[in-house]
Structure 1
Amino acid sequence: MKAFIYLLLFFTTIFWSVFGQNDSVKNKSVEIVFINGKTYYIHIVSQNETLEQIALAYEVSERDLLLVNRELVMGVHAGQAIKIPVLEGERTGLQVDSFIYHKVKKRQTLYFISKKYKVDIAEIIEYNPAVRDGLSVGDVLKIPRAIETDNVLKNENGLEYIYHIVRKNESLYSIAKQYDVDIEEIQKINKGLIWDVSLGQKIKIPKIVDKLKVNRDTFAESLIYTDENKFNAEYPCKEYTYDNEQFKIAVLLPFQTDRNTIIDTSKLEKGDIKFYKNTARIIEFYEGILLAVDTLRRMGLKIELNVYDTKKSEKTLREILNSEGFSETDLIIGPAYTSNLKIAAEFAKLHEINIVSPFSRSSSLLRFNPWLFQARPNKEVGYENLAQYVAIYYDQNILVYHNGMKNELDETKIFRRKLVDAVSFNKGIETVNYKEIDCSDRNAAGIEATLSVDNDNIIFVPTKNEAFVTELISKLNPLTEKYKILLFGLPEWSGFKNIEQEMFHKFQVHIFDYNYIDYSRYDVKNFVSKFREIYKNEPGNLAFQGYDIARYFLDNLEKSGAQFHNCIPKNPLFPRIKGLGLDIDFQRKDKSGGFLNYAAFILQYTKDYEFVKINTNFRKTYFYQKEWEKEEKKEHNNTKKSDKNTDDETDEGDWTKDW
């Protein structure tokens, strides 16, 4: 029987979680009564009203209602009269629009609430002293309204101003200082205002600048992200035991369901079906995720997997992120495109959700976002590993052959810096036998003149140009009988089509890469067998990576809970996690940012016609230590330069070209 609806197999789980609830309450009371010296509203319950709706309507917590109406533990019913405690601010005549009343939801923290309403944590605690002991779901917090610097108005004299609502303990002097204006200027546009201001009073503030807003954002940012040890000091890895709870996982990928139709898998297996752009690769990656989810479910982990089609639309992504319940997600995998990833990463940071970037090579988003994980190592990591390996030959003849093009000169500069640092650190010397050669117009004799008979010739060619590599190898080939040559190249070389593989093995070509699959491994064989059984197809690299990424994070959720980022080992001797194709070694990119995968490989074409991974783990020595010894200012400058020069290569249209 032909197997139809191939895409339907995957897309039946792609959905929008949109739930609604009517929070309106009929006949809300406005009359205040006094009972035993305390102030209450008396509310008469209408048909179908719930305790939650009543609490929200009066901006109090359900706990507050239960404390003064003990009979509510038996439930509410139509016609019932219940007492509603009047908030302190209302009793003192404080204007209602001076505050926002926020009901605490699952996973929300004081930091999240302070960022949401743009107020300091200290102010929230001032008006809600009970939160010093922690937040509880359902608590209603009284949040002082942030001062809006965007709503600039004009008065009758053409002067710009906004309204400021006076808060507790504020004086005219403190308000003037806060806005960096003179007291006289405030008095001038507020007729009758001399010195005294009262709680809740609305006054005009002239000549508004953005200084206050900047200071507030800076303060909120510094609450967590400026102390290098904040997460391990104040938020240590807590002891956690999985107790049969369900974790909510969101997968955000561009399936392009609006551009792909129902597929006949018999045609798919023959190669007659073409998906829209990168959809086939996305499906392959997703298939790997599904196998990991299935594995963990069979091991007893409860998983709610929600899959969303982001298309290539920022609007679609924002609608997904803002859908009801999405902020309660425990882990986000995706999105694929850089523009969408930036939006999702900011959302995850605001809501304190761990998020995984599966494809991007740019590390710029990791800075100041401790919830972001970048699964693919950036180019700096690859060059670091390559330089560490080449540093072994520091006393030999190390050469860099390039064609004089700007991009290759940039690559050469990065390698030179990494190599000098590596030799200096490992060998304690400041010099290395190293030369850079422009081979764009050199003939065979000119290239031979750069080689050494007495030493090994370690040649690195930082180019993706297959024609240049082909010509260079043809010039070097006759020289192998006289000179010992080891050739090093870029990951793209493994995809060259017009160079005989025999030449790579003859020169024992070494490349650095981030993905390697050893098909002789037992677990790899099992994966391939399972993949064939379920999907009737051969797994590609992205299938292995989807499995490795999902398996790693699901394992961590089970082991350490939703706050597993606090439990990532910082010990440089801790071994990397060996996946089926992608090794994982997450460390913070800088002292206050997210996690970068530092696991890269050195791969070699051997004379025995094998393509093997060389077992190295340079983070245990040089790389790990150097990353954490950098000063904050130097790290910031280097990050900006490296991101600009080497990281931001993920094109919106070809993010999978190197995978």
Structure 2
Amino acid sequence: MLIQKNRSIYLVSPVIICLYLVLLAFPASTLHAQDTEYPVKIIDHHKFYEYTVQAREGFFRLKVKFKVSEDEIKRYNPEAKDGLRAGMKVLIPVYDENGNHVKAVPEQRFKEHIVERKQTLFRIRKLYSISEEELLKHNPHIRGRSLQTGDVLKIPIAGDAGSDPTNETAVQKQKATIEQAATPPPVRMHKRHFRIAFLLPFMLDQKHESTDSRFVEFYSGALLAINEAKAKGRTIEVFTFDTEKSDLKVMEILHDTLFENIDMIVGPAYSNQVPLVCDFARIHRIRTLIPFTSKVVGLESNEYIYQFNPGQDTEINKLAEVLTTEARNANLIFIENPYVAINDEGNQLVSQLKVLLRNHKTDFKSLSIDPSNTTALRPALNPSGENIIIFNTNRIGTLSAQMRQLIQLSDSFQVKIYEPFSWRTLKAEKPASFYLSAFRNEYPDKTYEEYMQKFDSIFGWLPVTENPRYDLLGYDLLNYYFSTADLPAASKAGHYPKYEGIQSTIQFEKATDKGGYINKQLNHYE
């Protein structure tokens, strides 16, 4: 992606907000060069002919026609390494008479800015890094008066080369192919300078009540880890963006903002935004940490993604391990509501868990019970041993009648349910339970006390989130990043080293040979 290098940074305590830049785009054109004329693509600021190989044409004929070497053709067209085929489209670099690769010619372009409430001329100038003289030159209608909400301003975009917006996706794919062929992914050994971008929903443009303290706390914990890394000699630049809850906002940030030489992206928070950032990370080869979402589409094929929140597969495997070892003598009962949707996560968990239990030759019972039916539970219970209940739904609101019945039966039977982690913050009535979590229940005393003293001295306020503590999540993840940033890719070993944070044990493991990484560390709690 081609990016204009202008930016302004505003400090909004404790958030640094990098405001918008502009993605430049130039239409594909047709040029006369190297004594020929073919469609031209603009890729990475340079011009390429897009040529369709004709029948019986080989490298020699293309070398003569375009005055390029066979190695150059293969460099920009990795798919041609085994030879050319009729109908194959290849990219040929365009050279001038001095043998230099031709750069795209910049042109003047504009974007529109609609003046928002309470927005001043000074703020707009800072937003776009433009002088007052130039702004007035292109907007004479605002001379001699104050800005009004709804005014439409023309903002000049500094000249640069780009791609045809209608063909942007194709050009990005071609650019990615060229970069992969021409330059191997860098191995960052003993790196001291880092550029980190945070994409989090601070909701700064909303009313104060709408601001989600979880993400402010996460960011604050991350900043504390960054501060400690700086004290150890690392140079770190932080770029932070308010993504709100909209995928359109994320698209705006990715396409209109400077992301040159970013080492890591942290975020986003919401599942609808994740695919956009993951695609961007793959194209631009940026290590990207997804802290919250447990469902990252494309993780299996995107080597730049790091998913902290263990997914359902990890949960099922860990649950099967607990049931076949620590709880192997328990009376295991699946209570299945026949009306539950197929795509209910609880339904999927039960289906896959049964397969693993059968493989381990572990006995279990399955009861298909309407949620209002409470009489079928008692006969299935073992009066002389432990009974473990697993429901086929994550919707605890549909289980209130059965929960009350199990609480009553707990007076006569040893009953325990498996509790999805999402139920931990709910105030619904439940019998005794066990659950799996990526977060510790108790923190190491000395380390935690030192952390809290640092947090209070820097920020002057205390976190309010619990189970998990979002500030500790940000702190642990950024510390883990700095502890592994100097290591080569983990593709050979299949995993990075294990890290013991204050709240979490973290170890990223390869999801697949060609995919990204996922943290599979889960704790079993009663």
TM range (shorter): 0.5 to 0.7
Task: Tell me by how many angstroms 1:578 deviates.
Answer: 2.7
Q: Indicate the residue corresponding to 1:284 in structure 2.
A: 217
Task: Tell me by how many angstroms 1:93 deviates.
Answer: 1.4
Distance change in 2, residues 1:462/1:408 (3 Å): farther
1:545-587 CA-partner distances (Å, limit 9, x unpaired): 1112222223222x22xxx54468426xx87433222332322
1:357-412 CA-partner distances (Å, limit 9, x unpaired): 22222222324222122221223322322222112344542112344441499455
Task: Tell me by how many angstroms 1:292 deviates.
Answer: 1.1
Task: Tell me by how many angstroms 1:282 deviates.
Answer: 1.9
* 8 Å Cα contact 2:336-2:391 kept in structure 1: yes
Task: Tell me by how many angstroms 1:304 deviates.
Answer: 1.0
* 8 Å Cα contact 2:312-2:349 kept in structure 1: no
1:95 is aligned to 2:26: no
* 8 Å Cα contact 1:568-1:586 kept in structure 2: no
Matches within 5 A, 1:213-612: 241-242=189-190, 244=192, 246-259=193-206, 274-276=208-210, 278-323=211-256, 325-392=258-325, 393-394=327-328, 396-407=330-341, 410-411=344-345, 413-425=347-359, 427=360, 429=361, 432-438=363-369, 440-443=371-374, 446-464=376-394, 471-480=401-410, 482-499=412-429, 504=431, 507=432, 509-539=433-463, 540=465, 541-557=469-485, 559-560=486-487, 564-566=488-490, 569-570=493-494, 576-604=498-526
1:150-187 CA-partner distances (Å, limit 9, x unpaired): xxxxxxxxxxxxxxxxxxx999xx34x889xxxxxxxx
Q: Distance in 2 between matches of 1:311 and 1:535?
A: 23
Q: Distance in 2 between matches of 1:481 and 1:439?
A: 23
Task: Tell me by how many angstroms 1:326 deviates.
Answer: 1.2
Task: Tell me by how many angstroms 1:417 deviates.
Answer: 3.7
* 8 Å Cα contact 2:341-2:347 kept in structure 1: no
* 8 Å Cα contact 1:18-1:323 kept in structure 2: yes
Tell me which amino acid in the other structure corresponds to 1:242: H
Q: Distance in 1 between matches of 2:427 and 2:305?
A: 36
Distance change in 2, residues 1:536/1:456 (3 Å): same
Task: Tell me by how many angstroms 1:349 deviates.
Answer: 0.9
* 8 Å Cα contact 1:358-1:376 kept in structure 2: yes
RMSD across aligned positions (CA): 4.7
Matches within 5 A, 1:162-241: 174-175=86-87, 241=189
TM-score by length of 1: 0.53
* 8 Å Cα contact 1:395-1:433 kept in structure 2: no
Q: 3-state SS of the aligned residue for 2:380?
A: coil
Tell me which amino acid in the other structure corresponds to 2:438: Y
* 8 Å Cα contact 2:371-2:399 kept in structure 1: no
* 8 Å Cα contact 1:235-1:566 kept in structure 2: no
Higher strand share: 2
Q: Indicate the residue corresponding to 2:126 in structure 1.
A: none
Distance change in 2, residues 1:485/1:314 (3 Å): closer
1:308-364 CA-partner distances (Å, limit 9, x unpaired): 223345454344334575132111111223333222221211111111222222222
Task: Tell me by how many angstroms 1:489 deviates.
Answer: 1.7
Unaligned runs of 5+ in 1: 1-6, 22-58, 60-88, 105-112, 135-140, 145-168, 180-212, 225-229, 261-273, 605-659
Tell me which amino acid in the other structure corresponds to 1:545: L
Aligned length: 412
Q: 3-state SS of the aligned residue for 1:602?
A: strand
Tell me which amino acid in the other structure corresponds to 2:505: D
Q: Distance in 1 between matches of 2:12 and 2:257?
A: 25
Q: Distance in 2 between matches of 1:367 and 1:446?
A: 42
Task: Tell me by how many angstroms 1:588 deviates.
Answer: 3.0
* 8 Å Cα contact 2:507-2:520 kept in structure 1: yes
Tell me which amino acid in the other structure corresponds to 2:471: A
Q: 3-state SS of the aligned residue for 1:296?
A: helix
Task: Tell me by how many angstroms 1:424 deviates.
Answer: 4.8
Q: Distance in 2 between matches of 1:383 and 1:491?
A: 13
* 8 Å Cα contact 1:402-1:437 kept in structure 2: yes
Matches within 5 A, 1:55-204: 90=33, 92-95=34-37, 98=40, 102=44, 127=68, 174-175=86-87
Task: Tell me by how many angstroms 1:96 deviates.
Answer: 7.6
Distance change in 2, residues 1:312/1:450 (3 Å): closer
Q: Percent identity?
A: 20
Distance change in 2, residues 1:526/1:438 (3 Å): farther
Q: Distance in 2 between matches of 1:384 and 1:583?
A: 18
Tell me which amino acid in the other structure corresponds to 2:477: I
Q: Distance in 2 between matches of 1:555 and 1:97?
A: 48
Q: Distance in 2 between matches of 1:258 and 1:496?
A: 29
* 8 Å Cα contact 2:369-2:376 kept in structure 1: no
Distance change in 2, residues 1:491/1:349 (3 Å): same
Larger Rg: 1
Tell me which amino acid in the other structure corresponds to 1:552: Y
Distance change in 2, residues 1:523/1:391 (3 Å): same
Q: Distance in 2 between matches of 1:409 and 1:94?
A: 57
* 8 Å Cα contact 1:511-1:602 kept in structure 2: yes
Unaligned runs of 5+ in 2: 1-10, 25-30, 54-58, 91-166
Task: Tell me by how many angstroms 1:450 deviates.
Answer: 0.9
Tell me which amino acid in the other structure corresponds to 1:372: I
Q: Distance in 2 between matches of 1:410 and 1:479?
A: 27
Q: 3-state SS of the aligned residue for 1:339?
A: coil
* 8 Å Cα contact 1:585-1:598 kept in structure 2: yes
Q: Distance in 1 between matches of 2:478 and 2:52?
A: 37
* 8 Å Cα contact 1:466-1:496 kept in structure 2: no
Q: Distance in 2 between matches of 1:517 and 1:296?
A: 27
Higher helix share: 1
Equivalent in 8, 15, 19 of residue 18 of structure 2: 15
Tell me which amino acid in the other structure corresponds to 1:360: T
Q: 3-state SS of the aligned residue for 1:532?
A: helix
Distance change in 2, residues 1:517/1:535 (3 Å): farther
Tell me which amino acid in the other structure corresponds to 2:434: H
Q: 3-state SS of the aligned residue for 2:36?
A: coil
Q: Distance in 1 between matches of 2:200 and 2:69?
A: 41
Q: Distance in 2 between matches of 1:465 and 1:241?
A: 47
* 8 Å Cα contact 2:491-2:513 kept in structure 1: no
